[in-house]
Amino acid sequence: MKKVAEIKIIDEVESVSDWKSKVMDQKIPIILDCYADWCNPCRKVTPLLSEKTLAHGGKFRMVKLNIDNCPQLASGLNVKQIPTLFVIYKGSVVDSFTGFDAQKIDELVQTALLVDQAANDE
Q: Looking at the annotation, which residues are catalytic?
A: 39, 42
Give the span between the Cα atoms of 84 and 33, in whole angstroms. Answer: 6
10 Å Cβ neighbour count for 84? Answer: 22
Is-cis flag, bond preceding 83, omega within 30? yes
For the chain, first and last CA: distance in Å?
Answer: 34
